Amino acid sequence: MAGKNVLTLTTTNFEAEVSNSDLPVLVDFWATWCGPCRAVAPIVEQLAGEFEGRAKIGKIDVDAEGELARKFNISSIPTLMVFKGGEVVEQVLGARPKSQLASLLEKHV
């Protein structure tokens, strides 16, 4: 469930879209049943529009993509990670305001 500028990330496209990206990538680990995740979703979509061309924004449904959730030790959602050069450079747990998520990503563009 991603907006037009938000990538739906899966085990199939993760390497191409995140690991091999020339741009920093904000990844939102979420689930449909998670209230705080639903609160963050519109913020993530706004950031995707605002950072278009400077960063990528993607979402990973932890229920559908358990392998990726395990790979990154996701034990609480929402978890948002910023990847740069294929490596995690920032991570925050829980719903955060747009200003905080924007400044988190701004540091890496």
Q: What angle do CA 71, 73, 74 make, to 5 degrees?
A: 110
Q: Report how far residue 9's alpha carbon sits from residue 27's, in angstroms, rounded to the nearest whole number.
A: 8
- Check if 34 is active-site: yes
User: What single-letter DSSP state applies at residue 20?
Assistant: T
3 state SS of 36: helix
Which of 34, 57, 74, 80 is an active site residue? Answer: 34
Buried b (16+ CB within 10 A) or exposed e, 75-94: eebbbbbbbbeeeeebeeee
- Check if 44 is active-site: no
Which of 7, 9, 25, 37 is an active site residue? Answer: 37
| Enzyme catalytic residues | 34, 37
